[in-house]
Structure 1
Amino acid sequence: MAKTFNVTGPCISAKHYMADMTGRIKQIRKMVDAGAYFTINRARQYGKTTTLAALEKELEKDYLVIWLDFQALGSAAYQNENTFSLSFLQIFYRELKRRRVEKIPGMKVILTEIQRNIEEKEQDFDLMELSSRLLDTCGASENPVVLMIDEVDSASNNQVFLDFLAQLRNYYLERDTKGVVTFQSVILAGVYDIKNLKRKIRREESHKTNSPWNIAADFEVDLSLSQDGIAGMLAEYEKDYHTGMDISEIAKLLWEYTSGYPYLVSRLCKLMDEKIGSESGKAKQEAWTREGFLKAERMLLMESNTLFESLIGKLADYPELETMLKNLLFFGKPITYNPTNSMIALAMMFGFVKNQDGKVIPANRIFDTLLYNHFLSMDELKSSEMYLASLMDQNFFIKDGHLNMRKVLERFVAHFHELYGNRKET
């Protein structure tokens, strides 16, 4: 089967073109070996699930890896402590069966007990009972147990999930102080970190940032794609199709426009491969050029996809965030990076902006243009002088989709002389 560029679900090296992940997986492996509990919180479609899949393969020889996805839990699972505990136990049991742990001495008894709890739907089965089953599993396992939970944002009932995290925290502390056999490492993955998960769900309550996950180690592994990583992915593609592309040039363009945002890189590559390369009988050789890339970029900005819809949706959810981004884009208002500023923290968490030398700037050129186009298309701006002027300037400065720098410089010189032409030199 021919490989493709993937933009839905995790990337699998046997099926998809993807950048080499060896370096980042080694970094995360060191954290697991050290017994760290941590959160991988990155923006949507930033490669979190792909990273967990690669990490699982790296760890499974030395650890019993339990990988859960909270999207498997319906909203009913978060009604109370009992429903959450039984629902969690059910997906935990399913994962144990996938791992065929019944062959491990002592584990079969635990599986039988867990199955009984699930089938009888015991009304008094609570977080303490759940914790007992989890600790029993850790104690019976031949290898240390690593718990990975993907899509933790799906934990729609804040309190019961935070109570569960508090128990994990307690056993983490007792691991060193009392010798309790618990998880070697717990990894939570989602857009929100645990503090912001609480802010998201209980915005009306006070003390929103009080979190039971203060044991978490800092996760500083870069999940973005480097220019070299993109080049490696393109080199693999080039071996299959022999397009004659300038790999260094295309990799540089992809990185400059996306800053290595995994979804954006893959989507642009997919458009060049499957759309531009097949239009009007054009060969793939024509698609993998600077002109082909720029056409793919325009196509991307014109399409509706889940990432863009999610980003724009956040502007409606957080009006202050929208105001901050407008000031940044339209008025060039400098914003000093301050991690304690909640709006800056949200903007970075959702992927709108990044910190560069202590200043808040747009995360990448694609998002910059996306937001600019969105704000200009809003009804309240359509009749404004800013919007009308932008349309006139766009027609004047843009030719065939490219910025006419000669026109830009001519207009600059004209305005400069209007402002300062009559002033005497000093």
Structure 2
Amino acid sequence: MPRWFNTAGPCNPADHYMLPALRRLPEVRRLIDQKSYFVVHAPRQVGKTTALLSLARELTTEGRHVAALVSMEVGAAFPRDVGAAEAAVLESWRNATRSQLPPELCPPSFPEAPPGSRIAAALAAWTEAAPRPLIVFLDEIDALRDEVLISVLRQLRDGYRNRPEHFPLALCLIGLRDVRDYKVEVGDSDTLGTASPFNIKVRSLTLRNFTAEEVAELYAQHTADTRQPFEPEALARAFELTQGQPWLVNALAKVAVEELVPNTAQPVRRADIDRAKALLIERRETHLDSLAERLREPRVRHILEPMLAGLTLGDVPEDDLRFIQDLGLVRMAATGGLEVANPIYREIIPRVLANTAMASLPRLPATWLRADGRLDIERLMEAFMAFWRQHGQPLLSTAPYHEIAPHLVLMAFLHRVANGGGSLEREYAIGTGRMDVCLRHGPDTLAMELKVWRDGEKDPLDEGLAQLDGYLAGLGLSSGWLIIFDRRNGQPPLAERTHATTAVTRASRRVTVLRA
């Protein structure tokens, strides 16, 4: 039976290409040996469930413990009914343990208990009936909220003192967030802001991404099974685009080998990986959709918005910085400062934020195309200015991030151009005050530098020309656009102030300067 690249649910070595599950969590064994209660948190679909389900099976097979992974997720349907949530959770535990353990190691019938104590009572009964010390992995713990979450955490803390004879020897909470970031209404906050309901934890661990060598190792399993190689440039490109994010690594390969290069006699090339990336972004696969949902959360927005605008962050709480990194959206760059976690996220974030503007666009005839299908840069500029004068102002109000509203409306327009047979690439970095955009359409490439002129600042023309000069040099181009969005108060309407002029950079590159 052939194996495949898995993008849905836990991996099974009999069905899926996968790496040793615990390689990325080397500390877990020591914590269990030390009878610890601990937390494993990481973004969705990086392998948490796969790794800890595998460990539970290993521990049980070794014969010294009874170990199982059970989920808390079904309790999320009852955010304010503790008893109903507990009943749903315990029923799911019965089903999960039947599939993981032999009958003699499954938990006994869970005892009757008042609401608010049923989880602890079930764990106590299971521990007492087990022939060996019990280890439990509680998955999707942060799917619970409010009273239910607080109740469960307090039951675990209260039972902790009764271990190992009457409560699990070791226990792990698994979720997207660390304990202090669990969603719960506490005073004026919507998170715990503290680990106190579960202050028995010893450590919080984060599951890391794959390394470049591990991406190559994973893809080599497909080659071993099918003899279809990935060329070295394809392997390097896959890691470059994903930075080792496990779902993206698997998804790129899955699209490449199943859809783009199904003939295993042909190798997977760099161009195939790029085409797979474009398809994933276009389809907004489940993982990318769940990522998009996070962008409107206030704690995410007030970090991502200045990043996209190229501004400094200002006074951002340390918890929020840690939270957005834990979600996997951003990371600390090797040279310092935050950056978006990988190029695929970097491309999809502005695209998602521009969705409303894209949906609101009027019908735009492709006047920017010549008869031979090539891009006419002059007519594209004329089309954009006409569009901006007529539709720019109302579309600005559709952008979810105010600071970069003009950028997002421009992105919506350019996506309409790119959808006719091109691609759009974006580069942005914190504290640079800029966003670089590259429109590719067949053999034609147009590079743009986007700047914003705000109150109290000087005209960004000179700085923008210098920045665009460097961007054009990197792309090997002799001309480009500098677009300056004037966001100062008291300016004339967009229709009156939108105009284009020309300028020349220090390196003698010709620039069209659009003021909008």
What range describes the TM-score normalised by the shorter chain of this pair? 0.7 to 0.9
Residue 138 of structure 1: SS of its match in structure 2? helix
More strand by share: 2
The 3 A distance-change label for structure 1 pair 214 and 289 is same
Q: Of the candidates 438, 445, 449, which is equivalent to residue 394 of structure 1?
A: 438
Aligned-partner residue type, residue 291 of structure 1 = A
More helix by share: 1
Residue 38 of structure 1: SS of its match in structure 2? strand
Residue 48 of structure 2 is matched in structure 1 by 48
Deviation at 1:295, TM superposition (A): 1.3
CA contact (8 A) 1:102 1:111 kept: no
Residue 68 of structure 2 is matched in structure 1 by 66
The 3 A distance-change label for structure 1 pair 315 and 23 is closer
Residue 294 of structure 1 is matched in structure 2 by 274
Q: Which residues in structure 2 correspond to 1:250-399 (within 5 Å)?
A: 250-278=234-262, 283-284=263-264, 286=266, 288-318=268-298, 321-331=300-310, 333-335=311-313, 340-357=317-334, 358-376=336-354, 378-379=356-357, 380=395, 384=406, 388=410, 391=414, 394-395=438-439, 399=443
Query: Where does structure 2 lack aligned partners over 5 or more consecutive residues?
Result: 358-394, 400-404, 418-436, 448-471, 481-502, 510-516
What is the number of equivalent residue pairs in this alignment? 393
Deviation at 1:57, TM superposition (A): 2.0
Q: Which residues in structure 2 correspond to 1:2-401 (within 5 Å)?
A: 2-24=2-24, 26-61=26-61, 62-73=64-75, 75-76=77-78, 78-95=79-96, 103=104, 111=108, 114=110, 117=112, 125-128=114-117, 130-156=119-145, 158-173=146-161, 175=163, 181-199=166-184, 204-205=188-189, 208-211=192-195, 212-220=197-205, 222-246=207-231, 248-278=232-262, 283-284=263-264, 286=266, 288-318=268-298, 321-331=300-310, 333-335=311-313, 340-357=317-334, 358-376=336-354, 378-379=356-357, 380=395, 384=406, 388=410, 391=414, 394-395=438-439, 399=443
Residue 120 of structure 1 is matched in structure 2 by none
The 3 A distance-change label for structure 1 pair 301 and 97 is closer
Deviation at 1:99, TM superposition (A): 6.1
Residue 121 of structure 1 is matched in structure 2 by none
Q: Distance in 2 between matches of 1:352 and 1:30?
A: 29
Moved more, 9-18 or 283-292: 283-292
CA contact (8 A) 1:68 1:95 kept: yes
Aligned-partner residue type, residue 356 of structure 1 = A
Deviation at 1:12, TM superposition (A): 0.9
CA contact (8 A) 2:142 2:175 kept: yes
Post-superposition CA distance 1:69-105 (Å, at most 9, x none)? 22344624x543433444444344445555667647x
The 3 A distance-change label for structure 1 pair 129 and 285 is closer
Q: Distance in 1 between matches of 2:244 and 2:446?
A: 23
The 3 A distance-change label for structure 1 pair 327 and 82 is closer
CA contact (8 A) 2:68 2:136 kept: yes
Residue 24 of structure 2: SS of its match in structure 1? helix
RMSD, matched Cα: 3.6
Aligned-partner residue type, residue 320 of structure 2 = M
Deviation at 1:10, TM superposition (A): 0.8
Post-superposition CA distance 1:251-276 (Å, at most 9, x none)? 32222111111110000000101111
Q: Distance in 2 between matches of 1:89 and 1:63?
A: 21
Deviation at 1:210, TM superposition (A): 3.5
Residue 410 of structure 1 is matched in structure 2 by 478
Residue 14 of structure 2: SS of its match in structure 1? coil
Q: Distance in 2 between matches of 1:11 and 1:125?
A: 37
Aligned-partner residue type, residue 64 of structure 1 = V
The 3 A distance-change label for structure 1 pair 207 and 317 is closer
The 3 A distance-change label for structure 1 pair 366 and 400 is farther
Query: Where does structure 1 lack aligned partners over 5 or more consecutive residues?
Result: 118-123, 420-426
The 3 A distance-change label for structure 1 pair 269 and 336 is farther
Q: Distance in 2 between matches of 1:312 and 1:388?
A: 20
Residue 423 of structure 1 is matched in structure 2 by none
Q: Distance in 1 between matches of 2:102 and 2:225?
A: 40
Q: Distance in 1 between matches of 2:337 and 2:267?
A: 36
Residue 463 of structure 2 is matched in structure 1 by none
The 3 A distance-change label for structure 1 pair 254 and 304 is same
Residue 187 of structure 1: SS of its match in structure 2? strand
Aligned-partner residue type, residue 134 of structure 2 = V
Post-superposition CA distance 1:380-399 (Å, at most 9, x none)? 45994785499496347984
Moved more, 374-383 or 27-36: 374-383
Residue 52 of structure 1: SS of its match in structure 2? helix
Residue 370 of structure 2 is matched in structure 1 by none
Post-superposition CA distance 1:176-225 (Å, at most 9, x none)? xxx764212111112122221135x5585588414312222333454311
Q: Distance in 1 between matches of 2:228 and 2:446?
A: 25
Deviation at 1:298, TM superposition (A): 1.5
Q: Distance in 1 between matches of 2:259 and 2:474?
A: 32
Q: Distance in 1 between matches of 2:173 and 2:101?
A: 24
Post-superposition CA distance 1:353-412 (Å, at most 9, x none)? 012344211111110111133345552459947854994963479847898867555349
CA contact (8 A) 2:440 2:446 kept: no
Among all aligned residue pairs of Structure 1 and Structure 2, give the percentage whose two residues are the same amino acid. Answer: 20
